[in-house]
Each structure stands twice: as structure tokens, then as C-alpha cells.
């Protein structure tokens, strides 16, 4: 009989041990009818963790309000961008809090009371509202950043000599791109300009002439005025034998003129503009 009781006792111990291994979470929860001290401890633990979430919600609401105000007060792109970064941070932190809060609510090792679960749901709603406010602030910041985009700098006039190097006596053309204003004052110490050869079309003006027979070999300048801006280009007189050329006409200038701006004048697609008249 004693042996039978011993076997039975061992069987009971094995069964209890197996139950602990299989369902630790169930045993960890405060069971119904647990001592009042355990229930109180469970409630205090829940309240402490919930208080931490409430503080996070307080901070999120504060940060969302500050970001919204910063966006409204932004006067420059940099200020708007900084305010947007603050709003993006609030949105990210609110998303993290939602995940943490959901895990907290789903924790089966805790025994929730109705009042604490209600407080938790209210805290989660506050976090979600802060995220919504941040999202609106982000949208407002994006609009303000776009509205505050600085206007593109106005295109400036450009000048070139075609060809950029020529022998004495050769025909060359001074060509000017002038986006605003009139072109005047074509001049060069090394070119005999022919005023009757001037050609104008849209924003391009050009005038031809001959490299002077006594021009020194080397680099020279050509100038013109676009509106109130004086433009200067360089060209080279080569040591080649002098050439004879007939006086140019406006049609000669039109065919010879090529303007290749150096990066400042662009077409709508962003390619470098080229004018061939």
C-alpha cells in the first residue's frame, strides 16, 4: 500500500511540473480569487507601466503642437524644413508608441481591470491624434517649402566670337544672347566691324567684321552691351598668313553665327541652348 501511494505521489508531481512548462503565462497571471495583496501588486504594476505611456502621450501632444506652430510661423525654407523634421519625428514616435501600447494591451500575463483598460485606450487615442496632427503639419510644411522656393536667377547675357581663333583678314562674328534689354556697343580693338552686317532675331544679335591686318598674334577681346550689362569675350589671332575676304552681309553673318552659352542659358529640358542663325 505504501509503495502504491509513493508511485501516485510521483505521478502527481510529474503532472504538475509538465503543466508549469506547458503554460507558464497562464500561471503567471493573477488567477481569479487570488489574495488581495497579489491583486493589488498586479494593479500597481499595470498602473506604473500605464503611467509611462501617459507621459509619452503627453510629450507627443506637446511636440506635435510645437511642430504645428513652427510650420505656421516659418518664414524661410530652412525654417519650414526644420519644422517638418520635428513633425516627422512626432509621427514616427507615435507609430512606435502604438506598437508598444498594443503589445502592452495584448500581454496576457497581466490582469486588466476595466478602469485601467479604459485609461489605456484613451492614452492610445491621444497618441493617434498626435500622429494625425503631425501628418497635417508635414503636409503644411511641404506646401510652405514649395511656396518659399526661391525664384530662379534671371538668365544673363552671353557673348562669343565665331570662330574663336582666326588669321588676320579673316571674317569673324561677334554674337550676343541677350534675354532682356537691347544689344548695343559691339566693339573690339582687333576687329574692323561692318555695321551693315548686323543681324537680330529674338534674343540673339550678331555683327561681323574682319580681323585687323595689323592685329598682333595672340588673345584679344570683343565687347557688347546687353541692356545695362557689358559683356566680354576672348578670341585668338593666329600667326597664319593674312587672308582676303569680301565685306560681309547680314545674311553672311546669319549663316556664320553660332552661340554656345557656357552653362548659364538652358532650354526647358535642361540641355545647353545653341543658336545657329
pLDDT number for residue 211? 96
140 plus 180 within the same structural domain:
no
36 plus 136 within the same structural domain:
yes
pLDDT number for residue 255? 67
Residue 218 belongs to domain spanning: 158-265+272-276
178 plus 97 within the same structural domain:
no
Please, which pLDDT band fits residue 37 given cuts at 50, 70 and 90?
Answer: low
Q: Is residue 129 part of a domain?
A: yes
Domain end: 147, 177, 207, which one? 147
Is the pLDDT confidence value at 58 over 80?
yes
Q: Is residue 173 part of a domain?
A: yes
Distance CA 187, CA 170 (A): 16
Q: Is residue 15 part of a domain?
A: no
210 plus 167 within the same structural domain:
yes
38 plus 106 within the same structural domain:
yes
Q: Could you tell me the three cell numbers for 11? A: 505521478
Is the pLDDT confidence value at 209 over 90?
yes
pLDDT number for residue 57? 96
164 plus 187 within the same structural domain:
yes
pLDDT number for residue 182? 93
35 plus 139 within the same structural domain:
yes
Distance of CA 124 to CAs 6, 7, 65, 109, 138, Å?
A: 55, 54, 17, 20, 21
Give the strand pairing for 171-177 and 165-166.
unpaired
Is the pLDDT confidence value at 13 over 50?
no
Is the pLDDT confidence value at 20 over 80?
no
Distance CA 243, CA 172 (A): 12
Question: Tens of pLDDT along 145-184?
Answer: 999 998 888 788 999 999 999 999 999 999 999 998 899 9
Is the pLDDT confidence value at 60 over 90?
yes
105 plus 125 within the same structural domain:
yes
We report the CATH number of the domain holding residue 43 as 1.20.58
Q: Is residue 10 part of a domain?
A: no
Domain end: 147, 182, 217, which one? 147
- 10 Å CB burial of residue 81 (0-12, 13-18, 19+) is middle
Percent of the chain with pLDDT strictly greater than 90: 59
pLDDT number for residue 260? 46
Question: Tens of pLDDT along 62-117?
Answer: 999 999 999 999 999 999 999 999 999 999 999 999 999 999 988 888 888 889 88
Amino acid at each position: 500500500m505504501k509503495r502504491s501511494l509513493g508511485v501516485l505521489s510521483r505521478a502527481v508531481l510529474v503532472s504538475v511540473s509538465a503543466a508549469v512548462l506547458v503554460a507558464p503565462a497562464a500561471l503567471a497571471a493573477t488567477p481569479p480569487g487570488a489574495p488581495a495583496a497579489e491583486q493589488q501588486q498586479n494593479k500597481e504594476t499595470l498602473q506604473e507601466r500605464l503611467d509611462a505611456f501617459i507621459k509619452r502621450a503627453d510629450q507627443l501632444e506637446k511636440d506635435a503642437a510645437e511642430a504645428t506652430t513652427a510650420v505656421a510661423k516659418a518664414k524661410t525654407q530652412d525654417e519650414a524644413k526644420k519644422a517638418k523634421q520635428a513633425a516627422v519625428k512626432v509621427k514616427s514616435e507615435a507609430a512606435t508608441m502604438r506598437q508598444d501600447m498594443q503589445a502592452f494591451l495584448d500581454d496576457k500575463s497581466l490582469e486588466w481591470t476595466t478602469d485601467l483598460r479604459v485609461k489605456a485606450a484613451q492614452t492610445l487615442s491621444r497618441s493617434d491624434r498626435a500622429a494625425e496632427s503631425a501628418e497635417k503639419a508635414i503636409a503644411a510644411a511641404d506646401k510652405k517649402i514649395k511656396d518659399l522656393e526661391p525664384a530662379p536667377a534671371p538668365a544673363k547675357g552671353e557673348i562669343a566670337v565665331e570662330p574663336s581663333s582666326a588669321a588676320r583678314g579673316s571674317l569673324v562674328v561677334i554674337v550676343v544672347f541677350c534675354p532682356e534689354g537691347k544689344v548695343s556697343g559691339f566693339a573690339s580693338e582687333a576687329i574692323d566691324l561692318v555695321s551693315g552686317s548686323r543681324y537680330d532675331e529674338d534674343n540673339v544679335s550678331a555683327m561681323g567684321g574682319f580681323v585687323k591686318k595689323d592685329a598682333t598674334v595672340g588673345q584679344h577681346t570683343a565687347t557688347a552691351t546687353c541692356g545695362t550689362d557689358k559683356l566680354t569675350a576672348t578670341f585668338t589671332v593666329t600667326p597664319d598668313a593674312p587672308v582676303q575676304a569680301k565685306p560681309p552681309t547680314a545674311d553672311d553673318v546669319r549663316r556664320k553665327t553660332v552661340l554656345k552659352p557656357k552653362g548659364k542659358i538652358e532650354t526647358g529640358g535642361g540641355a545647353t541652348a545653341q543658336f545657329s542663325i
